[in-house]
Amino acid sequence: MIPILSPTPDNIRRAAEALRRGSLVAMPTETVYGLAGDALNPKALARIFEVKRRPFFDPLIVHISERSWVEKLCHQIPDGARTLMERFWPGPLTLVLAKRDIVPDLATSGLDTVAVRMPSHPVAQALLQEAGTPLAAPSANPFGRLSPTCAEHVAADFSDGIDCILDGGPCAVGVESTVIGWEDGKPLLLRAGGIALEAIEVVIGKVLEKTSATPVPQSPGNLPWHYAPRTPLELWNPGDSLLRANSGLLWFGTETAPRGFVHTENLSPKENLQEAAANLFSALHRLDHAGLSCIYAQILPDVGLGRAINDRLRKAAAAPHLAHEGDC
């Protein structure tokens, strides 16, 4: 059993010591819980890939608590990146920038860029300060599976390999950070996330969206499936008829949910996309543990955080379920 610790100063010191020894700590961030290790220690990085069963081609995000780390980790920083740091850090925005040699190749899967983010969660900030080193942290779930938005989700997914889980309560944002890179000097959306694309474009103008023609490195954001519950998930529109027995519904909005589902979760009865994002992974975890044959999920409006939510739902629906009975 991995201990779940409240984030007292003593426990943050204990966690920081573990990180300096090269061990891993599950830490809360405002987006999802992260599986943190010393970003400058290749052994700790290797442990992250091992514990998460993550393929080595999939680069990690490096978390920092002070802007001075940006210059130490990165160079050739575009003006637009500086503007975005100014406006959105600390917060759910990751910037992919040219890396310096200090960043181990394991963190970047051999790419010459590194993803950097400054989380706003006070426990993540305190842990980064106390550890005194940047922390690499993917979401603290087994590769490809639902992201954790509370300490209990992490504890349910792992039984060893992590020194402790710092309990910072439920994550306020609920979907991972927005990832922005630059190509030929132009900003590119690599992953929709906790900061709406519209808000970013207000600050730096048009951001290109990744298309199949855009050569980008292999990563979870780019894999055809990800964020998947163990129960098969299918996208569903009201009016679609092909329903299986013993199914659940992920619903959104003010209208009464259709009947006939064993378990229904409404992401936001007020149709608020921020509330829906904050509830997304908890609702999917609950549906996944309800003994259902199938989860039907409604696609949300494709604006603001709806874009990040729909991306997660589309990738979850694309997951293979060869081992599961009663696929929908």
Residue numbers of the site for ligand TXA (CB under 6 A)?
Answer: 29, 31-32, 34, 59-61, 92, 94, 96, 108, 111, 113-115, 117, 119, 137-139, 176-177, 179, 181, 190-191, 217, 219-221
Query: How many CA atoms are closer than 13 Å to the CA of 266, on its beta-carbon side?
Result: 12
Tokens describing residue 300:
């949300």
For residue 78, the partner it binds in ligand TXA, Mg ion, none, with Cβ less than 5 to 8 A by kind, is none
Torsion of CA 302, 246, 225, 48, to 10 degrees: 110
Phi and psi at residue 188, to the nearest 5°: -135, 130
Which residues does residue 95 pair with via DSSP β-bridges, in sequence order? 116, 180
Q: Considering CB distances under 5 to 8 angstroms, the limit depending on partner class, which of Mg ion, ligand TXA, none binds residue 149?
A: none
- DSSP lists the bridge partners of residue 113 as 98
Q: Which is nearer to ligand TXA, 85 or 249 (CB)?
A: 85
Which residue of the chain is nearest Mg ion when measured via CB?
139
Rounded Cα distance between 194 and 75, Å, is 25
CA-based nearest residue to 274, from 307, 246, 247, 251: 307
- Rounded to the nearest 10 degrees, what angle do helices 273-288 and 306-317 cross at? 20
Choice between 97 and 295, CB closer to ligand TXA: 97
Q: Which among 98, 113, 105, 112 is positioned nearest to 40, based on CA atoms?
A: 105
Residue with Cβ nearer Mg ion (139 or 231): 139
Minimum CB–partner distance for residue 210 and ligand TXA (Å)? 10
Name the minimum Å distance from CB 191 to ligand TXA: 5
The smaller minimum CB distance to ligand TXA, of residues 122 and 260, is found at: 122
- If the CB atoms of residues 139 and 178 are measured against Mg ion, the closer one turns out to be 139
Task: State residue 197 phi and psi, 5-degree precision.
Answer: -55, -40
310 in contact with Mg ion (CB under 5 A): no
> Rule CB under 5 A: which of 132-151 touch Mg ion?
139
Q: Which does 61 bind (CB under 5 to 8 A by kind): ligand TXA, Mg ion, none?
A: ligand TXA
Given ligand TXA, Mg ion, none, residue 295, with its beta carbon under 5 to 8 Å by kind, binds none
Binding partner of residue 268 among ligand TXA, Mg ion, none, CB under 5 to 8 Å per kind? none
Integer Cα distance of 307 and 276 in angstroms: 12
As given in the structure block, the two tokens for residue 79 are 């003006």
191 binding partner (options ligand TXA, Mg ion, none; Cβ < 5 to 8 Å by kind): ligand TXA
Q: Which residues bind Mg ion (CB under 5 A)?
A: 139
